[in-house]
Structure 1
Amino acid sequence: MNFQHVRVPVADNVELSAAIAGSGSPIVLLHGFPQTHLMWRHVAADLATDHTVICPDLRGYGASDKPAGDGPDTYSKRTMAADVVALARALGQDRFALAGHDRGALVAIRAGLDHPENVTHLASLDVLPTLDMWDVMHGVSAQVGFHLYLMAQPPGLPERMIAGASDEFFGHFLDLWTNDPKAIPDDVRRVYLDASRAAIPSIVADYRASAGVDVEHDRADRAAGRTLTMPVTVLQQDWGAMLGFDAAGLWKAWAPDLRHVPVTCGHFMAEEDPALVTAELRELLTR
């Protein structure tokens, strides 16, 4: 399947880079950390046989623009979700399914809450909503998320620390979070490391927003009783059993129409078990 690569203006002085292929009902696939849209290469090729598939690099990542993260909203998930909706609309898709992994899943969740008129179906791969993520991190078990705390610090120190050993830092997660090292071959790993090395300030700004403004947005939605009104599928490692919380229960509070699927592969499931991810996305699109 041949993908066309485009750059699309989505906000003032911000363009997203995206790969597009196929025809039929649209689905947008959002990548996670420390990756680019390339993580969807297997799943996207399959879905593009009968769907219009749009795979962008998020604001601040890959080949997309990386505005300076001076303001608290520059890398809020609300802003990044608005980017995605603007991208889809510019490509002629006012209503679309949306799937996200890791950071992209947080953007997808925010898009589903803020733009329910645009998002028809939603899939989240291996995260909790931001507010719940912080709530379950406690005690020594929180060491698994040390990077969340590092990148939540004020601008300056985190960026310098990561820049001092960027390949080791980003490579640590590629190694730690996969059960099958062959799922991310050397050439793909180099793409991820090169892209992350070039995006340290914006990646840190994205994470910093998740310890600030993103939490405020989630709290406001929870207080107002807002939920995801579309069908939702969550694919997730069994973090609840490992860290002592009910992942499905936390998700059910946000997504009344929920399919929660524990997986046995590692975090990078679209690369480790693309057949499972593709099958679950196809099942979601029938609901």
Structure 2
Amino acid sequence: MPPTIPGFSQQRITGADGVTLYVAVGGSGSPIVLLHGFPQTHLMWRHVAADLAADHTVICPDLRGYGASDKPEDVDGQTYSKRAMAADVVAVAKALGHDRFALAGHDRGALVAIRAGLDHPDVITHLASLDVLTNLDTWAVLKGLSATVAWHLYLMAQPAGLPEKMISGTADEFFGSFLDAWTNDPEAMPADVRAAYLQASREAIPSIVADYRASANIDFEHDEVDREAGNQLRMPVTVLQQDWGPELSSGAAAMWRAWAPHLDHRTLSCGHFMAEEGPAEVIKAIRALLAR
């Protein structure tokens, strides 16, 4: 079995479209689902989940295409849409007996959480997003030299074939480069955890690429429809971000507020992997969100 959060049970639960997700579950009380980012697994929530489990049922799946979850072939460009991945999350929670739940996501998981909030507003009670803009706003702000920080978005947006081959040829260096570049505190990610992330990513290259490719295609289309229709996240929303610099950070809250009128926007003093680098701050913010 892959490494998981100490004290949590490990289950395989069917999500949407017959896709089975690997899920770690712990604690008892009102439910909250935690969704991981790239290039990670549910293990990234180990500190936060252990604290929240004191008074909440905490559900930590590996997203479809990641970790120990199923990795179906992307046959139509929609298999890894955030809509499909959000439907997985709703189905998993329901299978565990929860028709309504709070939801927090980091990075790719945050994009899934946002889509779940838009598609299932009667299901998601509270929403936390860690260190992303919405998919639509991300593509809008990537201009000129600033876009170089997101070079991987453009690589994995290309048609199937070449990106997968390029990444496969140097998988550990590719995925490891993000673990190195995006953290301010390397000690926050111990060697065994890093090794687990690299192994899981090596085994999921086609599905990870398909997830990113969807963001430049079907996910973008879904977001445009919601923007034009004026759809918003009507539940309480907390956004945590690192300091992205004055130009972007100053405008991030306004971009978020267009989607989330009930917004608490906070900047944390850590790197991208904030649930591992600054778990106490993340726990405090999520608990404040759940109290709203």
TM-score by length of 2: 0.97
Q: Distance in 1 between matches of 2:249 and 2:262?
A: 24
1:78: which partner in 2? 83
Secondary structure at the counterpart of residue 35 of structure 1? coil
Tell me which residue corresponds to 1:16: 21
Inter-partner Cα distance in structure 2 for 1:276 and 1:30? 17
Write the distance in 2 (CA, Å) between the matches of 1:97 and 1:285: 8
**Kept after mapping to 1: 8 A contact 2:163/2:209:** yes
Out of 66, 69, 92, the residue aligned to residue 87 of structure 1 is 92
Q: Is the 8 A contact 1:240 1:247 kept in 2?
A: no
1:263: how far off? 1.2
- Residue type matched to 1:166 in 2? A
Q: Aligned with 1:235: secondary structure?
A: strand
- Conserved? CA contact 1:239–1:247, under 8 Å: no
The aligned residue for residue 155 of structure 1 is 160
In the TM superposition, what are the counterparts of 1:160-179 in structure 2 within 5 Å?
A: 160-179=165-184
**Which residue is 1:262 aligned to?**
267
Alignment of 1:1-287 (within 5 A): 2-239=7-244, 241-243=246-248, 246-287=251-292
Q: Is the 8 A contact 2:16 2:84 kept in 1?
A: no
Could you say if the C-alpha distance between residues 44 and 268 of structure 1 is closer, same or farther in structure 2, counting changes exceeding 3 Å?
same
Instruction: Return 5+ residue gaps in structure 2 as ranges.
Output: 1-5
Change (3 A) 1:132 1:84: same
Q: CA deviation at 1:175?
A: 0.2
Q: Deviations over 1:93-122 (max 9, x none)?
A: 110000000000000000000001100000
Greater than 6 Å deviation, 4+ residue runs: none
Runs of 5+ consecutive residues of structure 1 not aligned to the other structure: none
SS at match of 1:246: helix
Matched-pair identity in % = 71
1:240 and 1:246 in contact (8 A); partners too: no
Question: CA separation in 2, counterparts of 1:225 and 1:187?
Answer: 45
Instruction: Give deviations 1:195-254, integer Å, cap 9, x for gaps.
Output: 000000000000000000101000000100000000000000132625476000000000
Q: Is the 8 A contact 1:40 1:270 kept in 2?
A: yes
Count how many residue pairs are aligned between Structure 1 and Structure 2: 287
TM-score (norm 1): 0.98
Contact 2:243–2:249, Cα closer than 8 Å, also in 1: no
Contact 1:58 1:64 in 2 (8 A): yes
Shift of 1:73: 1.1
SS of the aligned residue for 1:69 comes to coil
Q: Which amino acid aligns with 2:203?
A: A
Q: How far apart, in 2, do the equivalents of 1:68 and 1:146 lie?
A: 24
